[in-house]
Amino acid sequence: MGTLGAGLLVVICATDTPARAADTAFTQFIASLWPEAQAAGVSRATFDNETRGLEPDYKLPDLILPGRPATGAPAQAEFVQVPSDYIKEAAIARLAEEGQRLMQKYHEALTGIEARFGVPATIVLAIWGRETDYGRYTLPYDAVRVLATQAYVGRRKDQYRNEFVLALKILGEGVVTRKELRSSWGGAVGLTQFLPSEYYKHGVDFDGDGRIDLWRSVPDALASAAEQLVDKGWQPHLRWAYEVKAPVNVDCTQGVPEITKPIGEWLREGFVPVRGQKLSPQEQAQPASLLQPEGIAGPAFLTTRNYFVIKEYNFSDLYVLYVGHLSDRMTNPQPFATPWSASTQLRSADVEAMQRQLTRLGLYKDKLDGKAGMLTRAALGAYQKSAGLKVDCWPSEAVLRSMGSAH
């Protein structure tokens, strides 16, 4: 699936319709992809049929259009909402209850998936629940049009050329009709939101009917999600994360993927599993990183290798927390032990200004994207230390003001 959950849709409208000349250029661009499509096994008839009359959709996010402001910065909900807005208790409770019902309904397939892939049934159900509300969410876009537009003027054009060609290949193989090939604005399709390349890389015919069907076959879709996790390094019998209570003197700048220690070592440093949970010697030997999604406020987690495997399915800490927590809630009705705080998220432009300043100071080396991810939060903590501010690793008005006056 990868990049974009179906529920994360924000459409950013373009201001005007590009000139007809641009559409002629688009038509020529699509025609130029025929040799790649042919090499991938797409027939001329399929290519002509599916591209006839195709027009770009310039209202999609994440496009680079000359003479227009870049679209797409606020497009993914994970990065513009504070955790309590994204991981809503009411939604989690509803999806967990439905997940328990589906666990009974698909008991045989899920038992088989767990046995074959070592991925818990609750994890693949949680991905399905998060991505398409267990198939109830109707994906809003024509996938062929999305992929063609992204290949033409998207930020990741080269990647999308291949996705476009493979979408045509899927249609040519007759697994799904064009009408059924709906997608998110990022071009992900099916119940568990796969890009076409992921369909070919990780798709599994689990129900044994001779075709990989991520649109109508729940066993195929869930087994394919499990296969994708395994291919990315999933380890059986390992939790995705442990919620812990952090010590009062916690150094939140340690909350980066590069800093890993055995869980037992974190515990010796004063991190305490919530609700008195006892961890086995095997669990304590597992390496883990610290995650504090709201800096020193809100819940804290020790994240295992499997946490980062889910993160490769969708690159967002809040997405992984959502899926992991929803998975847990199918077997245990308790919410996080520490509630989210009432933190407010600054505008993306303000966070980007902070990232720029942190880069100038040599504290931050990642993307300037206006997203308060793990590396940004740790860099903010380092800045707070150096400026003599309260160290909470959170982008706040106070830090913004301090940086402004430090120019």
* pLDDT tens digit sequence for 218-259: 999 999 999 999 999 999 999 999 999 999 999 999 999 999
Q: Do 16 and 58 touch, CB atoms closer than 8 A?
A: no
Q: For 158-190, how does the pLDDT look when each residue is reduced to its tens digit (9 = 90+)?
A: 999 999 999 999 999 999 999 999 999 999 999
Residue that is written with structure tokens 């994970």 in the block: 78
pLDDT band of residue 277 (cuts 50, 70, 90) is confident
pLDDT band of residue 146 (cuts 50, 70, 90) is very high
Q: Which of 60-69, 345-354, 374-383 has the lowest average pLDDT?
A: 60-69
Residue 344: predicted pLDDT = 76
Q: For 34-53, how does the pLDDT look when each residue is reduced to its tens digit (9 = 90+)?
A: 999 999 999 999 999 999 99
Q: DSSP label at 186?
A: T
Mean of the pLDDT values across residues 81-88?
Answer: 85
CATH of domain 348-406: 1.10.101
Give the CA radius of gyration of the chain.
Answer: 23
Answer with the residue of higher pLDDT: 405 or 244.
Answer: 244
Q: How many residues does the chain have?
A: 407
What gap in Å lies between CA 57 and CA 146, rounded to an integer? 7
Q: Do 323 and 342 touch, CB atoms closer than 8 A?
A: no
pLDDT band of residue 362 (cuts 50, 70, 90) is very high
Mean of the pLDDT values across residues 116-127?
Answer: 98
pLDDT band of residue 84 (cuts 50, 70, 90) is confident
Mean of the pLDDT values across residues 58-76?
Answer: 68
Instruction: Locate 108 and state its tokens.
Output: 């045989």
- Kindly report the average pLDDT of the chain as a whole number: 91
Instruction: Locate 291 and state its tokens.
Output: 């995650």
pLDDT band of residue 65 (cuts 50, 70, 90) is confident
What gap in Å lies between CA 135 and CA 142, rounded to an integer? 17
Residue that is written with structure tokens 């109508």 in the block: 216
Q: Do 364 and 351 touch, CB atoms closer than 8 A?
A: no
Listed by start position, the domains of the chain span 6-76+137-231, 241-303, 348-406
pLDDT band of residue 72 (cuts 50, 70, 90) is very low
Instruction: Locate 16 and state its tokens.
Output: 């005007």
Residue 248: predicted pLDDT = 93
Nearest by Cα to 91 from 121, 136, 61: 136
Quick one: CA torsion of 222, 224, 229, 235, rounded to 10 degrees? Answer: 80
Mean of the pLDDT values across residues 104-127?
Answer: 98
Q: Which of 326-330, 393-397, 403-407 has the lowest average pLDDT?
A: 403-407
What gap in Å lies between CA 4 and CA 187, rounded to an integer? 8
* H or E segment and range at residue 313: helix 305-313
The sign one gets for the Cα dihedral 228, 75, 368, 396 is negative
Mean of the pLDDT values across residues 387-392?
Answer: 94
Q: Which residues contact 123 (CB under 8 A, 6 or more apart)?
A: 226, 229, 240, 310, 323, 324, 327
What gap in Å lies between CA 281 and CA 212, rounded to an integer? 41
Q: Do 274 and 321 touch, CB atoms closer than 8 A?
A: no
Residue 13 reports pLDDT greater than 70: no
Residue 11: predicted pLDDT = 38
pLDDT band of residue 369 (cuts 50, 70, 90) is confident
Residue 371: predicted pLDDT = 85
Residue 4: predicted pLDDT = 42
Q: DSSP label at 388?
A: T
∠ CA 384-386-390, rounded to 5°: 30
Residue 61 reports pLDDT greater than 70: yes
* H or E segment and range at residue 385: helix 374-387
Q: For 295-322, how does the pLDDT look when each residue is reduced to its tens digit (9 = 90+)?
A: 999 999 999 999 999 999 998 899 999 9
Residue 261 reports pLDDT greater than 90: yes
pLDDT band of residue 110 (cuts 50, 70, 90) is very high
Q: What is the DSSP track for 276-288? A: GPPPPHHHHHSEE
φ and ψ at residue 200, rounded to 5 degrees: -75, -30
